[in-house]
Amino acid sequence: MKISYNWIKEYLDLNVKPADLAEKIERTSVEVDGVTTPSDGLKKIVVGHVLSMVAHPDSDHLHICQVDVGEDDPLQIVCGAPNVAAGQNVIVALPGSRIADNVKIKKSKMRGVPSAGMICALQEIGFSEDVVPKAYVDGIYVLPADAKPGDAVYDYLGMNDSLIDLDVTPNRGDMLSLYGTLHDLAAIYDQPVKLDHPEVKESGAAIADQLAVHVDDQLSPQYRMRLVKNIKLAPSPMWLQIRLWNAGMRPINNVVDITNYIMLKYGQPLHAFDYDKFAGEDVYVRTAKAGEKLTTLDENDHDLDENDIVIADEKAPIALAGVMGGLSTSIQDGTTTVAIESAVFEHDHIRKAAQRHNLHTDASQRFERGVNQAGVQEALDAAAQMMNELAAGDVQVGTVVGSENIPAPAVIDLTLTHVNAVLGTELTMDQVSHILESLGFKVAINGDTLTVTVAVRRNDIHIPADLLEEIARIYGYDRLPATLPTGRMTMGTLTTKQRLMRATRHSLEGLGLNQAISYALTTEEKAQMFMMKASEPTHLAWPMTVDHAVLRMNVISGLLDDIAYNSARKVKDVALYEQGRVFYREDGNERPSEEEHIAGAITGTLMPEAWNQPAKPVDFYQMKGIVAAYLQDMAVNGDVTYEPNADMPEMHPGRTADVLVHGHRIGFLGQIHPLIAKQFKIAATYVFELNLQAIIDMPKQENQYDVISRYPAITRDIAMLVDDDITNEQVVALIERRGGAFLQSVKLFDVYDGVKVPKGKKSLAYTLTYQDKHETLVDDAVTQAFEKVSKRLEDDLGAQIR
Amino acid sequence: MSLKDKLSELRQRGLADIKKSSDLKDVNQVRVQLLGKKGPITEVLRGMRDLDAEERPKVGAFANEIRDDLTNALAQRKAELEQAVLNAQLAKETLDVTLPGTPVAKGEPHVIQQIVDQIEDLFLGMGYQVLSGPEVEEDKYNFEMMNLPKNHPARDMQDTFYITKEILMRTQTSPMQARTLEKHDFSQGPLKMISPGVVYRRDTDDPTHSHQFHQVEGLVIDKHITMADLKGTLQVLAHELFGDKFDVRLRPSYFPFTEPSVEADITCFNCGGKGCKVCKNTGWIEVLGAGMVHPNVLKMAGVDPDVYGGFAFGVGPDRFAMLKYGVDDIRNFYLNDVRFLTQFTKKG
């Protein structure tokens, strides 16, 4: 809501600039979205009086006007507006002026005729199209007859006012009005606030003889109407129009404008009906019946149902209660009798109706948050009084009341001790009670206890904590001390799981992979790729897009999306890892379980190419080396083994291995299937994904000191030809099993399957290292062991030792 | 010519030859020539037996002296020449030290992770636990136990990805307040925790909105926790993340699960508080929401609000990173362009 600085100043004696006032409001009440002064940035825009006007000889729509701008000679201005006429006072942008959007106006010629400036529409000097009175939307604006040529136009149009745009939180509906804001400012600046109250001059007949209302008070706890006859419909006076357009509302006519003005002032939405269009003299507040329809003021049709609250006459709904009135009973030319409605509607219904019909109005916004239930009659009276004063209406005697459940004010007990204990302050009883009284609350003190009677307008205050907020904010958050919690000692330590997750990240970063964080919501297809176990996908009920509709059951597909993003931007070398959750769901369960995974993906080269380092494209063994080093870092207790897996549809059937720890599969690694690479539009990519939770849960090895032997080691190399289907693992396992007591390590140093070996064979070469920790090894002992293992290789694996 | 004169001449000639020798081979030749078994000194010494017994020791001593001189001169010359050889070799080995060093593979933590780690470390140091909770939550924890019953208007502020009527993607890390409060045994001490994690909102991704982002929840509940403690804690957090020069101010706000509720602003990075475009001329930037835990939240989790109370806060690492590093598009955090990921490497 935009609130007028000038309007505030009519009630409070403030000696602060608008920007300072706005800051104070922001720091004490509600957020401020900005402060604007409509005349800011405008220059040399004055009142002009059109002395004469002739048609442009070369145009069918332009006119040549002689305009008095308060100088000795009139200015000649060519104007194309359809509504310009001699005798009008108009807005003139002089030569050298600046209008909206920082546009500069210069002398010019229009179709050969000199034109010194421009006659302006309101939109051209910065007004939003939405607030310009309908009569002037398609033409220039006509100023009042008493405007003086040559004067700057700003004061005539209220443009020197400053408008503070309040972003009101859902709890502070009271701030959606001048009066509510004044109450807060009175407390902030510790000033008394003098509000004016209406005095209605009634005449004519009793309303009760002319109108009856029948109200379901569950839907509308308060419902009141007044009747005003013999209305003279006309445009509102300038001051009223200015209040409205500065608040962002379009002036329409005096009756409608008065209802809007009262809403801005009191926060109470009103509705004006054309009484003569009612079918009968009875008005009902009820739920709609299925099948009923209503055309609202904005000329949209709505199908209603029993969730809608409507105002209805004998025949049909005439308004969507608290949201928008109906077209059939709206104020139109010719309206003379107006029924003014001032009511409270149940906020939940209003909120849902506004959503359902997509009609978020000034009225619905206020009813949703709750209006001042103690001010319903006052707002009604104020509107009636204004219709008498500004539209010459005869306010009929009395008010019809359909329901009047005014809530009792909240009464809250609070102790000073509690206030200071929670806020960390040392406030006195006087300070606290003064703050609460300045907000218009009643305070009774009994010893340490304050009994606070809260003003009804503050429907957000129910419990002591609510009062603490009032005390704290009015006292000022800046004045609160800043301390740290004291009390019993607590330990701040990471859990084993958290430590391992940190170690995981550090390990993989050390191995050259960058941490990625990808989207956990993905497409249905990608969610189900690279599955490590069977699971049902989990779908969002109402996704925003198909791209983020299903919870991932693998981390790799997100990394492939990342690689695709890089690849599309010509970044060819990408090495990523991600630690994140996957979501497995069993059929029949609504909720998936969440499992921590760790995954990596590399495309291009891991080691950056350089002048002294050729590009070495990533391959299976590089990725395996990373996985192995990582698992070594994590110190899982048990043998890590790798078994070929040709069955994962998204993986290369010959270049994929399951990763097993102590025989349990914890994940896989390998090259993604070329078709998957093609689908993602990426180059050859190697990936791994491991169940991190499984790694976390596994027993771990402890660091331990192992004596470094002082005795020399002896090495022997062995090269052999074996059949292609003999794996390295088989060979190493055999050597380790049969290598004798002094064998310390077996290291593969060459693999060859080129032209120099027979078809179907390959050559493998290993270095065997022997050492005795307690004495120098004798060569003979090594030779004996070496020969033994060579023999076993020949016998068991059919190896030909070379 | 006397023997002595012969020796003197020998020395002179020898020293001259040594000086003339130009490589190690030369030096060796000169050594053999001068000091070898068939060399002139040996010869001179052989001639000593013709001398008087009186003269003999004198000449002998003189001859030894000359031999030592020559030996030393040879050693010195040899060292000189060796040094020269080494110098020549080193000169040949000279590199262009301005050529770039061989690059190494180096991975970096994600910038959001860095901020989360920094927050975790700060609060661990102040005795907080770090807890993580489910990303797929129950409506009960995400909303109801946070004092947001069904139909609460503030639910509209957080557009939610529902999976079923009761199951949703958590919109905030606040459900960890309810989950932790339910379990905590206050006889074992106060509750001090932070809970970082991923949250989800039904938003269209654009430069300032992401349907996935991060939050860190903080919660302290004990018998005597004050709003001043909240203010001090937030100050420590701002100083840790941004530096000591940054001020914190609190402003009233509204969250259903805290009362009083505040929003915390810190001094604008861009202008240092003078006012600029980034801070909309206020000199302040909003960074987090906080407040004193609402009694209803405590009550619903089975904690007596008449005995216990405290504060809670929620910070957005994404927003922190955007502010701290001037990142102008939140989507950068989730698209993982390597050129983006590798920008946040400064550890010193």
d(CA B136, CA A606): 35
What token pair was written down for B15? 């020293």
The beta-carbon neighbor of B164 closest among A483, A489, A590 is: A590
CB contact under 8 A, B260 and A512: no
CB contact under 8 A, A544 and B202: yes
pLDDT reported for residue A774:
86
The beta-carbon neighbor of A565 closest among B169, B263, B335 is: B335
pLDDT reported for residue A756:
86
The beta-carbon neighbor of A514 closest among B124, B251, B341 is: B341
CB contact under 8 A, A565 and B169: no
Q: In terms of C-beta density within 10 A (0-12 exposed, 13-18 middle, 19 or more buried), how is residue A356 classed?
A: middle
CB contact under 8 A, B189 and A494: no
The beta-carbon neighbor of A571 closest among B167, B334, B339 is: B339
Higher confidence at residue A136 or residue B48? A136
DSSP string, A153-183: STTTTTTTS-EEEEE--TT-GGGSSHHHHHH
CB contact under 8 A, A490 and B190: yes
CB contact under 8 A, A541 and B164: yes
Contact B21, B30 (CB under 8 A): yes
CB contact under 8 A, A465 and B292: yes
Which residues of chain B lie closer than 8 angstroms to A480, CB-CB? 227-228, 231, 250
Which residues of chain A lie closer than 8 angstroms to B136, CB-CB? 538, 551, 583, 591-592, 594
Contact A105, A94 (CB under 8 A): yes
**Which of A636-640, A794-798, B24-28 holds the top average pLDDT?**
A794-798
E strand or H helix at B164, and its extent? none
E strand or H helix at A216, and its extent? none
What token pair was written down for A570? 């010509």
CB contact under 8 A, B282 and A23: yes
CB contact under 8 A, B161 and A494: no
Averaged pLDDT for residues B249-254? 94
pLDDT reported for residue B1:
66
The beta-carbon neighbor of A515 closest among B108, B164, B260 is: B108
What is the tally of helices (H) and strands (E) in chain A? 19, 41
Which residues of chain B lie closer than 8 angstroms to A486, CB-CB? 224
Say whether B288 sits in a helix, a strand or coil. Answer: strand
E strand or H helix at A262, and its extent? helix A254-266
Q: Above pLDDT 70, what percent of chain A? A: 100
Residue contacts between A and B (CB atoms, under 8 Å): 257
To 10 degrees, the CA torsion angle through A487, A493, A497, A498? 100
Contact A306, A290 (CB under 8 A): yes
Nearest residue of B to residue A580 by CA position?
B198
pLDDT reported for residue B158:
59
Which residues of chain A lie closer than 8 angstroms to B198, CB-CB? 520, 580
Residue with tokens 């069993």: A586
d(CA B255, CA B239): 25
Contact B344, B111 (CB under 8 A): yes
CB contact under 8 A, B254 and A172: yes
CB contact under 8 A, A542 and B202: yes
Which residues of chain A lie closer than 8 angstroms to B128, CB-CB? 490, 492
Averaged pLDDT for residues A30-41? 93
Which residues of chain A lie closer than 8 angstroms to B263, CB-CB? 31
* Close Cβ partners of B124 (under 8 Å, ≥ 6 residues apart): A492, A493, A494, B130
What token pair was written down for B257? 């699960």
Say whether A397 sits in a helix, a strand or coil. Answer: strand
A interface mutation test: which of B237, B254, B268 has the most A CBs within 10 A? B254
Which residues of chain A lie closer than 8 angstroms to B151, CB-CB? 348, 351
pLDDT reported for residue B130:
97
Which residues of chain B lie closer than 8 angstroms to A365, CB-CB? none
What token pair was written down for A740? 């004798």
Q: Could you tell me if B39 lies within 8 Å of chain A, comparing CB atoms?
A: no
Per DSSP (E only), the strands in A509-552 are: 514-515, 521-522, 550-551
* Close Cβ partners of A370 (under 8 Å, ≥ 6 residues apart): A173, A347, A459, A460
To 10 degrees, the CA torsion angle through A691, A694, A699, A703? 30
E strand or H helix at A431, and its extent? helix A429-438
Q: List the one residue out of A376, A513, A354, A564 whose CA is nearest residue B341.
A: A513
CA distance A705 to chain B (A): 30
Which residues of chain A lie closer than 8 angstroms to B116, CB-CB? none
CB contact under 8 A, B251 and A577: no
pLDDT reported for residue A258:
98
Nearest residue of A to residue B123 by CA position?
A492
As a three-state string, the secondary structure of B47-76 is HHHHCCCCHHHHHHHHHHHHHHHHHHHHHH
Q: Above pLDDT 90, what percent of chain A? A: 93
Tell me the whole-structure pTM to 2 decimals.
Answer: 0.88
pLDDT reported for residue B100:
94
Q: For A348, phi and psi rounded to 5 degrees?
A: -65, -45
CA distance B265 to chain A (A): 10
E strand or H helix at B124, and its extent? helix B111-125
Q: Give this complex's ipTM.
A: 0.89
CA distance B188 to chain A (A): 9
E strand or H helix at A309, and its extent? strand A309-312
Nearest residue of A to residue B105 by CA position?
A512
Buried b (16+ CB within 10 A) or exposed e, A306-338: eebbbbbbeeebbbbbbbbbbbbbbbeeebebb
E strand or H helix at A79, and its extent? strand A75-79
pLDDT reported for residue B259:
95
Averaged pLDDT for residues A51-73? 93
A interface mutation test: which of B338, B341, B343, B344 has the most A CBs within 10 A? B338
The beta-carbon neighbor of A465 closest among B102, B229, B259 is: B259
Q: Is the pLDDT confidence value at A128 over 90?
A: yes
pLDDT, one tens digit per residue, over A273-327 is 999 999 999 999 999 999 999 999 999 999 999 999 999 999 999 999 999 999 9
DSSP assigned state of A533: S
Q: Could you tell me if B157 lies within 8 Å of chain A, comparing CB atoms?
A: yes
What is the β-pairing status of strands A317-320 and B248-252?
unpaired
Q: List the one residue out of A315, A311, A308, A275 whose CA is nearest residue A289.
A: A308
d(CA A398, CA A792): 115
Q: Above pLDDT 90, what percent of chain B? A: 63
DSSP string, A641-653: EEEE----TTEEE
pLDDT, one tens digit per residue, over A762-773 is 999 999 999 988
Local confidence band at B156 (pLDDT 50, 70, 90 cut-offs) = low
pLDDT, one tens digit per residue, over A587-620 is 999 999 999 999 999 999 998 889 998 999 999 9
Residues 172-231 of B with CB under 8 A from A: 189-190, 192, 198, 200, 202-204, 211-212, 220, 222-229, 231
Cβ neighbours of B36 (radius 10 Å) = 12
Averaged pLDDT for residues A143-171? 95
pLDDT reported for residue B8:
85
What token pair was written down for B146? 């946070």
On average, the pLDDT of chain A sits at: 95
CA distance A573 to chain B (A): 9
Residues 251-270 of B with CB under 8 A from A: 251-254, 259-263
Q: For A539-548, B19-28, B99-108, B193-202, which range has the lowest pLDDT when averaged over its residues? A: B19-28
